[in-house]
Amino acid sequence: MENNGTNILLIEDNPGDADLVRLRLVESQSDVKVNCVNRLADGIASLSKETPSLVLLDLNLPDSRGADTYRKILEHAPNVPIVVLSGQDDETLAIKAVHSGVQDYLLKGNLSSKHLERAMRYAVERQALVRALEIAQKKQLDFKNQFLSHVSHELRTPLTCIHQYVTLLLDGIAGAMAPEQADHLKTVLKSVNQLHAMIRDLLEATRVEGGKMRIEPRCVALGGLVQQTVAMLRPTADQKRVGLEIGLDQRLPLVHADPDRVLEVLINLVDNAIKFTPAEGSVVVKACMVEADPGFVYISVSDTGRGISPEAKNLIFDRLYQDADSVDNNRSGLGLGLFICREIVRLHDGRIWVSSELGQGSTFSFTLPVYSMAKLLAPVIIYQNRLRPSFVLVRVDLTPLINPPRGNWKETWQQCLEIVQRCVYLDKDLVLPPMETSGATETFYVVTSADMQHSGIMTMRIREQLDRVPDLKTKCSITITAVPVELPEEQAGAALEQQVESVAGCVTQMIVAGRERKQNLAAKSTQTSN
Amino acid sequence: MPKPKILLVDDDPDLVRALRLRLRANNYEVATASDGYAAIAQAQKERPALIILDLGLPVGDGFVVLDRLQNIDALSGVPVIVLSARDPQANEERALRSGAAAFFQKPADNDELMNVIRVSLGPGTEQQTAAWPS
């Protein structure tokens, strides 16, 4: 704005209309500056250079029509008031525009200078009000989040002290205790742990609201996470005499998800299910593919509890929601668990919902995106419309020499992953995102379009480059293995798309089988060491 | 074999007392400090094998202490385990970058903490766990 004068951006492609509007503007205000452009793109370009007091916008332009026109302007300049000038007397369109954030919708036909001037003035005022409200709201939200994060930090200090003294006594460090005393103290510890979980949820919910929750997606085999969850909650279920079962599809694809976060969702849902299921009831965790929606894996947790009323169903994922009936029998949360679950699933582009009938139990379901091996592999394994002749799966394992690793292990393995990425041919090889880890070992896979001999050259290159990283050898041991991908014979004559699917399927199976083998070995070694 | 010495830095005297008991029960010798300045002074005097460090400290917070330790030749190799009530999302990476060996949020799991202390002290300093009455 210059000298407090009004600076208007007029986006109008009809020269006659443009002149008319300009005339009306000059009639009503002496110190008005009008910048007229006739295409949306020029309007957006002008907005990025300077901010006008107001945009007068024709909806039908050579490069954009209808509602799209104001949407794009709103996207580029959300804080500039927009008044639509339309030749179309359409009240529905007008209301829709106002709902989307446009300040007014005027008809070109009956435009007087007085009318236009007044509409513009009000539009500017209204926009300023909206803006002030938004700023105030943001301030309030920031304050609340800061407050909660501060409180949760301050609560931790005394909680830590209680926790330390209780465990000190329970561990017998301050002398032996009578069994009954130890029993009472265990009840204290249980409550301390509950309080701890609540504080954690509080901080997590604050993060969600501030848009600060982050996920780190990896290639994840869901089966392992489901098993981990069930193993963890088995004692709770046994204690309540609630059955806990798993039903997994035989061939689940890998998903692209943050394993820690998914585990959080699973634990939350299964723990809830056990909590609301009476003795002799059962909880089942399933994961499967649904034909109509091949891009996602469906995970569900069903219980034989008392179900959820239709009203509650709509509110259950909201923050601080607690079922009134649940309060007396087991109030051990803040009502933030499902709210956090929903946010985690949303961050993965998945959906979460509940189906239930009173007295019939409930099923909580959520979806996670499949790690689409075929889609990602296609560009590197196809050459001149044919499948390349051979593929090798290269596996790089980084095992820290001391476990848990010291210092910034994440920085170390990320640096290694970058090196591996630099060692491959972008048009022939694909480095998969890091696998979910069990323990501290980081595993990277490369699908390379080569035979064993050529893949050997690549593994040598990776080895050489990793060896050049200073101090890496003092931090971890590196193993690199290469295994040929064996394709089924009958696939040779199939359509290209199917061939790609087949390679992707083989690779997935090899990875999953390798992980299971490793887990079994780990399980065996802990068994024998016991 | 002499017991490894741990310097415990925290401004909450009650917590220091409890942790000192636990560390002693695990066969460590314990020195303490309750602010950033004292932490450096004690580290130079006591030459601990490991430091457990709170972040929110008076007279120079934990990050200042980490920074100072890195710049004192005799102390830059001493592993530091950060034990803080602060949010790991905002502080863990910064602490590790500043030279900490590990980050624990309070309240920490005792077994995990003791395990990391043992590992950080390196091979050869393996301690026998104290036999306490059960």
Backbone angles phi, psi at A368, to 5 degrees: -135, 145
pLDDT at residue A194, as a whole number = 85
Tokens at residue A127, please? 């926009």
By residue count, chain A amounts to 530
pLDDT at residue B125, as a whole number = 44
Q: Are A102 and A32 in a shared domain?
A: yes
Out of A149, A160, A164, the one facing B87 most closely (by C-beta) is A149
The CATH number of the domain holding residue A102 is: 3.40.50.2300
B102 vs B134, residue with greater confidence: B102
**Range B118-126 average pLDDT:** 69
User: Which residues of chain B neighbour A408 with C-beta distances below 8 Å?
Assistant: 93, 96-97
Is B117's pLDDT higher than 70? yes
User: Which residues of chain B neighbour A157 with C-beta distances below 8 Å?
Assistant: 12, 15, 85, 106
Q: Are A49 and A171 in a shared domain?
A: no
Alpha helices in A401-451 (DSSP H): 409-422
Does A455 fall in a domain? yes
**Cβ contact, residue pair A171, B19, below 8 Å:** no
User: Which residues of chain A neighbour B105 with C-beta distances below 8 Å?
Assistant: 156
Q: Are A385 and A523 in a shared domain?
A: yes
Give the residue from chain B lying closest to A192, CA to CA.
B107
Is A3's pLDDT higher than 50? no
Domain count, chain A: 4
**Range A74-95 average pLDDT:** 88
| Chain B interface mutation, best of A146, A152, A161, highest count of B Cβ atoms under 10 Å | A161
**Range A151-171 average pLDDT:** 92
| pLDDT range class, residue A407, cuts 50, 70, 90 | low
Is A527's pLDDT higher than 90? no
| pLDDT range class, residue A347, cuts 50, 70, 90 | very high
Does A152 fall in a domain? yes
Q: Are A234 and A365 in a shared domain?
A: yes
The β-bridge relationship of strands A382-383 and A362-369 is: unpaired
Give the residue from chain B lying closest to A149, CA to CA.
B87
Does A297 fall in a domain? yes
pLDDT tens digit string along A320-334?
A: 776 665 544 445 567
**Range A423-446 average pLDDT:** 82
Does A153 fall in a domain? yes
pLDDT at residue A327, as a whole number = 44
User: Which residues of chain B neighbour A203 with C-beta distances below 8 Å?
Assistant: 87
Is A405's pLDDT higher than 90? no
Does A226 fall in a domain? yes
Q: Are A226 and A79 in a shared domain?
A: no
pLDDT at residue B107, as a whole number = 92
Please tell me the distance in Å from B76's CA to the nearest CA on chain A.
13
**Cβ contact, residue pair B133, A203, below 8 Å:** no
**Cβ contact, residue pair B107, A149, below 8 Å:** no
| pLDDT range class, residue A421, cuts 50, 70, 90 | confident
Does A121 fall in a domain? no
Please report the domains of chain B, with CATH numbers, ordered by start residue: 5-120 (3.40.50.2300)
User: Which residues of chain A neighbour B101 with C-beta distances below 8 Å?
Assistant: 406-407
The β-bridge relationship of strands A362-369 and A296-303 is: antiparallel
Tokens at residue A479, please? 């193993």
A26 vs B111, residue with greater confidence: B111
By residue count, chain B amounts to 134
| Domain housing A94 | 6-111
**Range B93-100 average pLDDT:** 89
**Cβ contact, residue pair B116, A176, below 8 Å:** no
Work out the number of other CB atoms within 10 angstroms of the CB of residue A320: 10
pLDDT at residue A490, as a whole number = 63
- Percentage of chain A lying above the pLDDT 70 cut: 92
Is A423's pLDDT higher than 80? yes
Q: Are A339 and A401 in a shared domain?
A: no
pLDDT at residue B12, as a whole number = 93
A114 vs A52, residue with greater confidence: A52
Least confident interval from A2-11, A13-22, A47-56, A459-468:
A2-11
Beta-carbon pairs below 8 A across chains A and B: 83
The CATH number of the domain holding residue A519 is: 3.30.70.360
Tokens at residue A372, please? 């689409």
**Range B111-134 average pLDDT:** 65
A387 vs A240, residue with greater confidence: A240
| pLDDT range class, residue A525, cuts 50, 70, 90 | low
Q: Are A262 and A352 in a shared domain?
A: yes
**Range A7-27 average pLDDT:** 87
A500 vs B48, residue with greater confidence: B48
pLDDT at residue A30, as a whole number = 67
CA distance A299 to A368: 8
pLDDT at residue A380, as a whole number = 84
Give the residue from chain A lying closest to B103, CA to CA.
A407
Q: Are A198 and A275 in a shared domain?
A: no
Out of A156, A176, A214, the one facing B107 most closely (by C-beta) is A156
Out of B101, B107, B119, the one facing A159 most closely (by C-beta) is B107
**Cβ contact, residue pair A157, B106, below 8 Å:** yes
**Cβ contact, residue pair A404, B115, below 8 Å:** yes
Does A135 fall in a domain? no
A244 vs A142, residue with greater confidence: A244
Is B119's pLDDT higher than 80? yes
Please tell me the distance in Å from A403's CA to the nearest CA on chain B.
7
Nearest to B30 by CA among B22, B112, B38, B53: B22
Give the residue from chain A lying closest to B90, CA to CA.
A212
Least confident interval from A328-337, A482-491, A512-521, B110-119:
A328-337
- Looking at A369, A404, A426, the residue that finishes a domain is A369
- Looking at A188, A209, A230, the residue that finishes a domain is A209
Out of A154, A173, A410, the one facing B132 most closely (by C-beta) is A173
The CATH number of the domain holding residue A301 is: 3.30.565.10
- Neighbour-count burial of B128, counting CB atoms closer than 10 A to its CB (0-12 exposed, 13-18 middle, 19+ buried): exposed
Give residue ranges of B with CB < 8 Å to any A CB.
12, 14-15, 18-19, 21-22, 25, 79, 85-87, 89, 93, 96-97, 99-102, 105-108, 110, 115-116, 119-120, 122, 132-134
Tokens at residue A325, please? 């009936």
| pLDDT range class, residue A67, cuts 50, 70, 90 | confident
Work out the number of other CB atoms within 10 angstroms of the CB of residue A441: 18
| pLDDT range class, residue A522, cuts 50, 70, 90 | low
**Range A22-45 average pLDDT:** 85
pLDDT at residue A324, as a whole number = 61
Q: Are A241 and A346 in a shared domain?
A: yes
- Percentage of chain A lying above the pLDDT 90 cut: 29
**Range A297-317 average pLDDT:** 87
Q: Are A519 and A382 in a shared domain?
A: yes
CB-facing half-sphere around the CA of A429: CA atoms within 13 A: 20
According to DSSP, residue A469 is labeled S
Least confident interval from A346-355, A519-528, B75-84, B109-118:
A519-528
According to DSSP, residue A432 is labeled P
Is B129's pLDDT higher than 50? no
Is A29's pLDDT higher than 80? no
Is the N-terminal amide bond of A404 cis, ω within 30° of 0? yes
Q: Are A180 and A258 in a shared domain?
A: no
Q: Are A57 and A183 in a shared domain?
A: no
**Range A509-517 average pLDDT:** 77
- Looking at A209, A231, A250, the residue that finishes a domain is A209
Does A307 fall in a domain? yes
CA distance B63 to B79: 14
Give the residue from chain B lying closest to A206, CA to CA.
B87
Mean pLDDT computed over every residue of chain A: 85
pLDDT at residue B19, as a whole number = 95
Is B127's pLDDT higher than 60? no
| Chain B interface mutation, best of A151, A155, A157, highest count of B Cβ atoms under 10 Å | A157
